[in-house]
Amino acid sequence: MTSTMKSLDVAGHAISYDEHGDRGTPTIALLTGWCQDHRLFDPLVPLLAEDHHVVRIDWRGHGEDRTPVADFGPTEQAGDTLAVLDAIGVDRFLPLSTSHGGWANLELTDHVGADRAPAAIVIDWLMTPASAEFLAGLAGSHDPDNWQAAQRELFDIWLNGSSNELVRNHLDNEMAAFDHEMWARSCDVIAAAYRQWGSPLQRMDKVAEHRPIRHLFSQPTAPEYLQAQQDFHDAHQWFTFRMLGGETHFPTLDSPALVAEEVRTLARSTF
């Protein structure tokens, strides 16, 4: 799809964003994971824009301006997102995040409250505590000689043998275009979040106002992973989940129609 990105100066950082659909309809704010940009949502936006106002926002250092930036994390990401939404006059919205953009999603929903963000969607976010192997992989991002090999191992896991050209392009040309500094920063921020909160499920339990949170994912498929989410749902009815059955770690690319269906259902019940 074609897009003419706009830019807003937020605390000295150029934040790229665009809008689609009718402003008189419910707003869906689309937030990527680290080392991704708005193109992750290209297949999803036309589906949602039929009956929603859709805003895509790139993190600082992730948009059209890739000038190196100082360290930042979920607090700054949430603040940048809110600055864009305020600037374009968005009041109530449903935030949808992918992967570890979920940490910023929850910071944002905590900050604005349930009246303004009455629900949230998180996509393919590793819900359970980080394994020692996962944390070791994050720490390895600082190795200047081997970081790309470690990155490629993750890409292969996320691709899962799929031949989906959109996913392959996203990994090989879009994510791989981010430099070592941003990749290492992302790994540091993600590791710090697991140290602070334990897991995304534990982070959700600490939100100031509970509201519907829906997790959509295709990886992992292990029974114990599903059971952990079922157990959390049983104790927290506001949390629900659905395994989409896609081939990869990127449902907005390999299963956009299913994601759009889930967004519509949640938006209808909350707006």
Distance CA(217)–CA(113), nearest Å, equals 25
Q: Where exactly are the structural domains of the chain?
A: 6-129+199-270
Is the bond into 220 cis (omega within 30 degrees of 0)? Answer: yes
Residue 137: predicted pLDDT: 85
The strand pair at 239-243 and 213-217 is best described as parallel
CA distance 224 to 255: 23
CB-facing half-sphere around the CA of 58: CA atoms within 13 A: 24
What's the pLDDT at 73? Answer: 98
Of 50, 96, 158, 95, the residue nearest 166 (C-alpha): 158
Tens digits of pLDDT across the chain (271 residues): 666 899 999 999 999 999 999 999 999 999 999 999 999 999 999 999 999 999 999 999 999 999 999 999 999 999 999 999 999 999 999 999 999 999 999 999 999 999 999 999 999 999 999 999 889 889 888 899 889 998 999 999 999 999 999 999 999 999 999 999 999 999 999 999 999 999 999 999 999 999 999 999 999 999 999 999 999 999 999 999 999 999 999 999 999 999 999 999 999 999 9
Is the separation of the CB atoms in 99 and 123 below 8 Å?
Answer: yes
For the domain spanning 6-129+199-270, the CATH number is 3.40.50.1820
Longest distance between any two alpha carbons in the chain, whole Å: 51
Contact between 256 and 248 (Cβ < 8 Å): no
Percent of the chain exceeding pLDDT 70 equals 99
* List of long-range contacts for 169-176, beta carbons under 8 Å, 24+ apart: 170/36, 170/39, 170/40, 170/250, 170/253, 174/36, 174/37, 174/39, 174/40, 175/35, 175/36, 176/151
The model's pLDDT over 200-227, given as tens digits with 9 standing for 90+, comes to 999 999 999 999 999 999 999 999 999 9
Any idea which residues carry the catalytic annotation?
249
